[in-house]
Structure 1
Amino acid sequence: MTSAPREAETPLGPIGALLCRLAFLAICLPGPVLLAVAVTQDPPWSPTDFWGLLAGDVLMTIVGVGFGVFGLRLVTRSRRDARRLSTAGVAATAEILAVANHLGGEDPGLELHLRISGPGFATFEADTIRADDPALVPGALLAAVVDPVDRLFAIT
């Protein structure tokens, strides 16, 4: 059974990946540090202040660590996708079958329905979002790279 096609994450270079990892690590740290300070504070806080700070610090820890770990996993996935496509990827052609306006997210653009074909894998269809461009019309051909094993692809 073949997996569903998946578009590769936006590639990050080594410096970008390092800076992103440092930023996400910085997001993870304040909650646990403030939690440790609240618990070890001498003299102890009043019971009301202590429980309020403890609840706030636990919430900050959960949110910060959750967001930081999510970001770290995203950076790792981006680097892994780029390595896989550079080592196992084959050149392919992506034909635009349909174009629709995409209004979701921060940047509106075009949602493209593609038929991706090339040597070493069965033709498949996939969707992607691209910035608005008058050249992106049905029938247009785009260069792509595909990992034939699990149909990981990137439009180049």
Structure 2
Amino acid sequence: MSQWNDEKAKVKDIFDCIRNFALCGLVFYVGIQCFLKPVNSYFLMSIYYLTGISMLLLSIYLFYINFSLFNKTVRKEHEAGNIGNSFYFLIPMLVIMLAINLLVQTALSIPVSDGKTLGELTIQDLERTNADSTQKQP
């Protein structure tokens, strides 16, 4: 009977899933950037918003697909008797925590106005930024 770590392909699958979570975070980051792009035209603003929403939804969908694939791999190894119960329940929880961190952490560190990052902004900052941008548009 093979063990969890005796095949290079199994270990590669784990690291591929982790890399894919980071790529989901990159797509999420691109989606957030679409909302922060300053534009003067309503047409371009609607294109950016549509693109941003599409990228955010795509990142969430890719996140779901990747997590499902990882869960399937772990379940298959558990059913084959290669990993124990604690690993079967612990690893998916740890991976979901890592994945959420990779998905959101990059977006929260985007620098915005006043030297703050996106994660440091308050609702009042967002309202003030929105009011300033609507005053600048013709």
TM-score band, normalised by shorter chain:
0.3 to 0.5
Larger Rg: 1
- The structure whose residues are more often helix, as a share, is 2
- The structure whose residues are more often strand, as a share, is 1
TM-score by length of 1: 0.40
Q: Which has the higher contact order (CA 8 A, sep 6+)?
A: 2
